[in-house]
Structure 1
Amino acid sequence: MSLFQNIVIIILLIIGAGFLSLTEIALAGARKVKLKILAESGDARAQRVLDLQANSADFFAASQIGLNAVAILGGILGEGAFRPYFLALVNRFYQGPWAETIGFTLSFTLVTSLFILFADLMPKRLAMIAPEKIAVSVIDPIQIFIKVCKPMAWVINAIANLLFRLFKVNTTRDDNITFDDISAVMDAGAQAGVLQKQEHHFIENVFELEERNVPSSMTTRENVVYFTLKESEASIRQKLAEFPYSKFLVCSENIDDVIGYVDSKDILVRILNNQSLLQLNENTIRNVLTIPDTLTLSELLDRFRSTKEKFAVVINEYALVVGVITLSDIMITVMGDWVTPIEAEQQIIKRDANSWLIDGSTPIEDLKHALGLDEMPDEENYETLAGFMMYKLRKIPRPADFVSFNGYKFEVVDVDHFKIDQLLVTRLQETLNDTIPEEESD
């Protein structure tokens, strides 16, 4: 064949190899979520791409058959077509024993470079730009190509499957989407400007509802305001004026003898109608939802939805009341300061760039958000910052006791009747590795 014919054949081989490389990357990189959206919108080609991804063995076998056959044929034709011309060029400057080798090397380098650039590198980079769009566009011709290569592909796949079984290699693809996958997509969306900062924060908090337990968002036992059956009218009026809550527990004598709850609206109606409040009765007391403290916030939302309630009492394994929680508390957990009442006391106060005053009852998840920590040590053993201190110190902390962890110093500032009220958290100047053994003052 003439040089022109060889060049035309090589160009056709490069185009064929480029098409296979483009298709291989596009079909492998096409995201299932986007393909499903296209399929649901009526694009039948997108569904065929999904089907091919689910059974990709025949495609990859056919693709490798085509790519390797084209590469070998291109090398043979290229070397035979270009070597005489390179040899003639070399003989003008050098006619020694190495002339044949130099001519072969130059022709091999030229053909290899052409295939690497136009049949491999450029098609693959183009496929990575819009894999779903390209995969949908090439699905029809590639299915024809797969049918042509079916007999040889079947033999190759049979041998490959036999070897996989022999070496006990699991070839099943795991397509389950984890929270880390979704979080990575959200982070990418935030960096690209698709998600605003507050939207990103809200979405993260929604997913955390599956991990956060009820105690992380409830009003703790010592802060619960409740009425007793013998509560005086003056006391009821005072509590209504002092605490702007919409619901109050009603107990027999102490907080662990829960009878139900009253809605402040019902009491205000009685006041407006000049009715006596000397005795709370069944007309005003409602049945209260009681839940264990082991529920997650997501499970509690399901309970609220099924019972049509918005208020619940939280009890522990000893049937003691540990707190109360409302639907608003869950919303505050999701939306943070956007729905937190102005009069509510801040649990985390940033003093400067490297120090915070933090309430001991602050949930660990809120602490990690504020300090930018990914995890706390053995955090399954506690739920609040006070619990973290007690777990690390192995005692009831006193003022000036401290723990150092991951470049932060957690120092107890105030303790009230064994309760850690406030801590000073300081970012250390030197980055610390892992957990430093806890230290405590004398």
Structure 2
Amino acid sequence: MSSYPQVMALFCLVILSAFFSAAEISLAAATKTRLQALSEDGDRRADLVLELQEHPGQFFSALQVMVNAIALLGGIVGDAAFSPFFMWCLEPIIPAVNLPHVGFVLSFLLATTLFVIFADLLPKRLAIARPEVVAMRVVRPMRIVIKVLRPIVFVLERLSDACIRSLGLPTKRQETITSEDILASVGAGAAAGVIAPQEEAVIQNVFELESRLVPSAMTPRENIVYFTTDETEASIRAKIATVPYNRFLVCDKDLDHVVGFVDSKHLLRLVLDEKPICFQEGGLVQPCQFIPDSLTLSEVLDVFQRTHADFAVILNEYALVVGIITINDVMSTVMGDLVTTTDELQIIQRDDDTWLVDGATPVDDIEHALGIDELPEDSAYETVAGFMMYMLRKIPKRTDKVVCGEYTFEVLDVDNNKIDQVLVTRTKGKAPAPEASETTP
């Protein structure tokens, strides 16, 4: 009896099994965002795939019924297709009593190999390469299979849902996308060369706006140039000539009593018109926007959007001025090195293992530059200078050191108790525990 019909039947079963394998992996791997984009382009098949992803129980129930049925039929047909051939080949060398068993084992191994390679591995690898395309091609046939097997699918779906709920797991696919997922995708794109390193840095900085506080981007109190209401015109002209700022705070006697701010272009107009500069003149001093120092940079952008302002004074919990911030400061944080000149860099890498760091550098920036997840208790301070003071538990002096992991932080320069520069050195070998040490010069 010819075994050609059994061989053709086995070939058809392999094709069917390959189809269901590709359908299984493509539906599971297809991303919701890409399918939604295809749906918006008018592809109805993307809507059908999204619908199946919303109710995967029916799909996988029908799929498993067909996969297991095909596997059973494949074993039966494979034995009928190949056993006679192996028995005929091995008849001269194997006793007749053992021949049926050997033929069965060899036919089983051959059929299993065909199913594993052509009905499982290849279709799944092809489907995972382009899951959305494959999913949209198989979705309509799979809907027909689901309708044909509806009674069986209904029972299996209810039983599987009951088991999943008993384990406290969701019965529907979760499509929540977190910032970590996006950053991981961006990192993969940068590694593949699709995204430039500068673009990757900008995207990372955008997400850090949610966690970075205002002090990390502000102009600190000691760098603020301001006028007092009773300041002489000669002093005002000297400050304008010395410091090319766009805005200057106007205060009543000291910085903690802010009256408002004045735009430098208005002052320049008065100078060009040879008119006296008087802050009591109506319309010259404008009201300021005040914000607490506990806001994140993202919240500052919201404030600027609501108030149509681009400049704010930052107060601490004691209503004292700690700094000022503009929308350009926030944008500079996002753009990073793309808009920062060499003279403005706060972190200068001298070689592979040493960095020269400005004391006012935000903690987030130094952690990112050194590849550190977080410095010890970094919520207790905002800058590298604050880190040194917190770890040393005193006002630092030159040559004072702090060892944190594989990095050593050494104070290089102190001006009026303010840390100007810190040298960071990476040590080779085992990372020691964080510790502080003092050196008397």
TM-score by length of 1: 0.95
C-alpha contact (below 8 Å) 2:399/2:438 kept by paired residues: yes
Separation in 1 of the partners of 2:6 and 2:273? 103
**1:428 matched to 2:427:** yes
Query: 1: distance between equivalents of 2:312 and 2:155?
Result: 65
Distance 1:191 1:182 in 2: 14
| 2:35 pairs with 1:35 | yes
- CA distance, structure 2, for counterparts of residue 123 and residue 346 of structure 1: 53
1:253 paired residue number: 253
Mapped partners of 1:377, 1:163: distance in 2: 45
Change (3 A) 1:167 1:188: closer
Pair 1:126–1:227, CA change in 2 (3 A)? same
| CA distance in 1 between partners of 2:327 and 2:293 (Å) | 16
Q: What is the 5 A alignment of 1:218-237? A: 218-237=218-237
Other structure's SS at 1:193 match: coil
1:358 maps to: 357
Distance 2:403 2:101 in 1: 68
Deviation at 1:40, TM superposition (A): 0.4
The offset of 1:378, in angstroms, is 2.6
Structure 1 match to 2:139: 139
* Higher mean C-alpha deviation, range 313-322 or range 187-196: 187-196
> How far off its partner does 1:401 sit?
2.0
Matched, 1:437 2:434: yes
Q: Name the aligned partner's letter for residue 185 of structure 1.
A: S
SS at match of 1:439: strand
Take 1:72 and 1:331, find their aligned partners in 2: how far apart are those partners? 64
After superposition, the C-alpha distances for 1:322-367 in whole angstroms (9 at most, x for unaligned) are 100111111111112333367x543112222221110111011211
User: Are 2:354 and 1:346 equivalent residues in the alignment?
Assistant: no
> How does 1:165-180 map onto structure 2 within 5 Å?
165-180=165-180
Cα shift at 1:234? 1.3
2:371 is aligned with 1:372 = yes
TM-aligned CA distance change 1:191 to 1:382, over 3 Å: same
Report how far residue 211 of structure 1 moved: 1.1
Other-structure match for 1:396: 395
Q: Do the aligned residues in 2 keep the contact of 1:231 with 1:279 (CA within 8 Å)?
A: no
* 1:252-280 deviation line (CA, Å, top 9, x unaligned): 01100010000011000000000112555
Q: What residue number does 2:242 align with?
A: 242
Separation in 2, partners of 1:349, 1:408:
15
Percentage of identical aligned residues = 49
CA drift at 1:436: 1.3
Which stretch shows the higher mean deviation, 389-398 or 153-162?
389-398
Stretch deviating more after TM superposition (43-52 or 386-395): 386-395
Q: Which amino acid in structure 1 is aligned with residue 181 of structure 2?
A: D
Q: Are 1:227 and 1:249, in contact at CA under 8 Å, matched by a contact in 2?
A: yes
Asked if the contact 2:53–2:173 (Cα under 8 Å) also holds between the matched residues in 1, the reply is: no
1:389-412, Cα deviation, whole Å (9 max, x unpaired): 223333332222222223211111
Structure 1 residues 216 and 370: alpha-carbon distance in aligned structure 2, compared to 1, 3 A threshold = same
Aligned counterpart, 1:93: 93
Change (3 A) 1:248 1:23: same
Q: Distance in 1 between matches of 2:227 and 2:274?
A: 20
How is 1:118-197 mapped onto 2 (pairs within 5 angstroms)? 118-197=118-197
**Greater alpha carbon shift after TM alignment, 391-400 vs 282-291:** 391-400
| Partners of 1:168 and 1:199 in 2: CA distance | 41
What residue number does 1:217 align with? 217
1:139-169 CA-to-partner distances (Å, cap 9, x unmatched) read 1111111111211111112222222233433
Q: What's the TM-score, normalizing by structure 2?
A: 0.95
Counterpart CA distance in 1 for 2:278 and 2:170 is 73
Instruction: Quote the Cα distance in structure 1 between the aligned partners of 2:430 and 2:344.
Output: 31
Tell me the distance in 2 between the aligned counterparts of 1:174 and 1:398: 54
Q: 1:307 to 1:168 in 2, by over 3 A?
A: closer
Deviation at 1:431, TM superposition (A): 4.9
Match of 1:10 in 2: 10
State how far apart, in whole Å, the 2-side matches of 1:384 and 1:215 are: 9
Q: State whether residues 56 and 172 of structure 2, in contact with CA within 8 Å, keep that contact through their aligned partners in structure 1.
A: no
Counterpart residue number, 1:289: 289
Query: Which range moves more in the overlay, 399-408 or 356-365?
Result: 399-408
Give how far 1:79 is off.
1.5
Instruction: Report how far residue 85 of structure 1 moved.
Output: 2.6
The answer (yes or no) to whether the contact 2:311–2:324 under 8 Å persists in 1 is yes
- In structure 1, the gaps of 5 or more residues are none
Counterpart code for 2:285: I
Distance 1:237 1:245 in 2: 13
Judge conservation of contact 1:331–1:339 (CA < 8 Å) in 2.
no
Tell me if the contact between 2:35 and 2:46 (Cα under 8 Å) persists in the aligned partners: yes
Alignment of 1:268-279 (within 5 A): 268-277=268-277, 279=279
How big is the shift at 1:382?
2.0
Consecutive unaligned residues in structure 2, runs of 5 or more: none
8 A contact 1:39–1:46 mirrored in 2: yes
**Alpha-carbon contact 1:25-1:128 (below 8 Å) kept:** yes
Q: Please tell me the residue identity of whatever aligns with 1:332.
A: S
User: Is contact 2:79–2:108 with CA below 8 Å preserved after alignment?
Assistant: yes
Question: What code does the residue aligned with 2:228 have?
Answer: T
Equivalent position of 1:418 in the other structure: 417
Contact 2:247 2:264 in 1 (8 A): yes
Of residues 347-356 and 110-119 in structure 1, the stretch that sits farther from structure 2 once superposed is 347-356
Is 1:53 the counterpart of 2:53? The answer is yes
Question: Which secondary structure does the structure 2 equivalent of 1:168 belong to?
Answer: coil
Question: 1:62, 1:153 within 8 Å by CA — same for their partners in 2?
Answer: yes
Structure 1 distance, partners of 2:374, 2:101, is 62
